[in-house]
Amino acid sequence: MGLLTADENRPIEYAFDMLGQYNIRRIILVDKDKNFSGVVLQEDLFDYLEEDVYKVDLKIENIINKSLKLQTVCIDDSIKKVIELMQKFKIGSLVVLHNNKCVGIVTEKDILKVQFNEVNLEEKVSLHMSSPVISLKESIFVTDAIEVMKVKHIRRIVITNEDDVPISILTNRDILKHVKGNYTRTLQNKIKHAQEIMNFLPEPIIEVYYTHNEDMIHWVNTQAQNVFGENIIDSKITDIIKKEDWDYIKDFLKDQKILKDLNIQVKEKVFELSGSLMNSSGNNYIKLLFKDVTDYELEKVKLQQIIEDEIAKRIDSEYLMMQQSKLATMGEMIGHIAHQWRQPLNQLGGIFLNLETASSFGELDQKYLQQKLNSCNEIITHMSNTIEDFRYFFRPTKEKELFDICKYINNAINLIKASLTYSKIKVKFQESDNKFFIQGYPSEFAQVVLNILSNANDVLVLNKIKDPYIEIVIRENNKKVFIDIKDNGGGIDNEIIDEIFNIYFSTKTKEEGTGIGLYMSRLIIETKFGGKLYATNSKDGAVFTIEFTKTK
């Protein structure tokens, strides 16, 4: 007979069949390419047997064959006699007795050693037997015998009656022969029990048998029949799941073995699908669990719509606030223009008064008139340029550009300079030799600076600060640029310093301010520049810091 091998993917019951059919003790395993991959011994199978396979109340006396007489030899018998008995009764082991007590055991393994070492067959068996001998009474449970075999790493146990007389030899082959039928029935019962449990589950479960050519529904639970139809067994899985979805599921499971929480559409419903791949007796199965999430998905769509509506409302609200902020800033700008124009208007009034006086005294000649008209034109041009400066300042920048921070800080200072001069507020801004460039919207940056300067102006005037000043400092580190705008107005109350950037928060009266200037300033710095705007206190007053990441 040729060498017996078994595919390593064969189910365990196949091992039982081979061991029993060919009366062998070990099975050689090979892979799909017929290459050697391992050996399975009889005793190895015990590690995969659960107690319910061989019944916890099963006793040794229930599985030994008492009709077969136990073959024994005396301690003084020869090796030759042992071999003759083994050949005659076709057995692989004998018990060695002395005064009717078991003192040893001789197996075919011992005989092979004797023959290999060319030992004289007339030698006594006592010189070559295995001793001491493990023995158990026939009333012992089979589970205990298996445990002894595992612990002692043996394949045979001598069985005695209640009087300690040897009556049989129990081998692991005897146990495996007995439990083989129980094992198959136990597996079937377990499968049946598992299917009964799955019938109580609220989710549909489908088991698919797949091959290279077709993927058929092999088993379904009650809930699957209720959801997908009573006659779906033996139909194609693609009758339920779209082919492109099934191809993805199958390929994923063949690669990963486990699939979790995949959303698929089945007719009008949405299911969250989980699955696993199994192999039994060389057959491939995919078990699928369907969780109906249709209502959840509908709610998610509704929630998404609500979120989108709220975002649209917020955008509209921010647009309105932006417009309101612009109107408020424009109102402030009119005040700044008034300061810018006050002196030129006074000069124009003085010129007209001079012309009137000269005319009254007859001193108005052509040369004097032309001189005064030229002066008027210069003043009017200056006033017109002031308007152009304000128009340019409020012109929105549609595209991001690389701009010089210092230049636009100076632009903001120039626009409010007349108001600051009128209030006798000094502005300290010492430009460094380094140039600081930022990618963004320059006019909107200048508006933020102007808003902070304007707030500082209001605080210094309101608090009647002696020798008021505003200082602007630019500092940097390896990655950041910081613009500090400081004043000596006494600072911000610590109880409200974290609230001053909140929308509509203001320390001014309704007539004096809307409370959206700082909110919009922070919004511009964060959303348009990806920077930060925050406030702290120094020993003299408030410090507003604009923080940017350096442009590479």
List the one residue out of 102, 75, 103, 105 whose CA is nearest residue 91: 105
Q: What mean pLDDT do residues 288-311 have?
A: 84
CATH code of 538's domain: 3.30.565.10
Mean pLDDT of 385-409: 73
* Of the listed ranges 10-24, 417-431, 458-472, the one predicted with least confidence: 10-24
Terminal-to-terminal C-alpha distance of the chain: 81
3-state secondary structure 473-507: EEEECCCEEEEEEEECCCCCCCCCCCCCCCCCCCC
Inside any domain, residue 422: yes
In a domain, 235, yes or no: yes
Q: Is residue 478 situated within a structural domain?
A: yes
Which CATH number do you get for residue 157? 3.10.580.10
pLDDT above 90: percentage of residues in the chain: 10
In a domain, 186, yes or no: no
Same domain? For 321 and 359 the reply is: yes
Same domain, 510 and 408: yes
* Position with higher pLDDT, 325 vs 368: 368
Residue 510, pLDDT score: 44
The yes-or-no verdict on residue 484 having pLDDT over 60 is yes
Q: What is the DSSP letter of 50?
A: -
CATH label of the domain that carries residue 238: 3.30.450.20
In this model, does residue 483 exceed pLDDT 90?
A: yes
- Which tens digit of pLDDT belongs to each residue from 412-440? 888 788 778 878 899 999 877 778 888 88
Angle between helices 108-116 and 79-89 (to 10 degrees): 130
Write down the pLDDT at residue 468. 94
Query: Do both 523 and 493 map to the same domain?
Result: yes
Position 309 scores a pLDDT of: 82
Residues 174 and 67 reside in one and the same domain: yes
pLDDT score of 130 more than 80: yes
- Which residues form the domain of 64? 49-180
In angstroms, rounded to a whole number, what is the distance separating the alpha carbons of residues 519 and 517? 5
Region 364-368: mean pLDDT is 82
The band of 257, judged by pLDDT with boundaries at 50, 70 and 90, is confident
Where among 368, 388, 408 does a domain terminate? 388
- Average pLDDT rounded to a whole number, residues 116-142: 88
Each residue's pLDDT tens digit, 271-298: 988 988 877 655 678 889 998 888 887 7
Check: pTM over 0.75? Answer yes or no.
no
- What is the Cα–Cα distance from 185 to 189, expressed in whole angstroms? 6
Instruction: Indicate whether 417 and 547 sit together in one domain.
Output: yes
457 with 481, same domain: the answer is yes
Whether residues 244 and 208 share a domain: the answer is yes
111 within a domain of the structure (yes/no) = yes
The residue among 388, 406, 436 that closes a domain is 388
Please say if the pLDDT value at position 53 is more than 50.
no
Amino acid 37: pLDDT: 81
**548 and 428 within one domain:** yes
Q: What does the pLDDT look like over 320-359, one tens digit per residue?
A: 666 565 656 566 666 656 656 766 776 677 778 778 887 8
Residues 418 and 514 occupy one common structural domain:
yes
HEC assignment per residue over 126-171: HHCCECCCCEEECCCEHHHHHHHHHHHCCCEEEEECCCCCEEEEEE
172 pLDDT band (50/70/90 cuts)? confident
Lowest mean pLDDT among 46-55, 406-415, 500-509, 518-527: 46-55
Confidence of residue 535 (pLDDT cuts 50, 70, 90): very high
Q: Is 338 in the same domain as 461?
A: no
Tell me whether residue 6 is in a domain: yes
- CB 282, CB 268: distance < 8 Å: no
Residue 509 has pLDDT above 60, yes or no: no
What is the pLDDT of the chain when averaged over all its residues? 79
Long-range contacts of 230-235 (CB under 8 A, 24+ apart): 232/206
Instruction: Assess whether 319 and 431 both reside in one domain.
Output: no
Of residues 143 and 494, more confidently modeled: 494
pLDDT score at 307: 84
Is 191 a domain residue? no
Query: 427 or 47, which is more confident?
Result: 427
Least confident range of 86-90, 126-130, 376-380, 389-393: 389-393
Task: With a cut of 90, say whether residue 546 has pLDDT above it.
Answer: yes
| Residue 303 clears pLDDT 80, i.e. is over it | yes
In the chain, the number of structural domains is 5
Q: What is residue 471's three-state secondary structure?
A: strand
pLDDT at 414: 81
* Residue positions counted in the chain: 552
The answer on pLDDT for 216 being more than 50 is yes
Residue burial 323-361, b: 16+ Cβ < 10 Å; e: rest: eebeebbeebbeebbebbbeebeeebeebeeebeeeeee
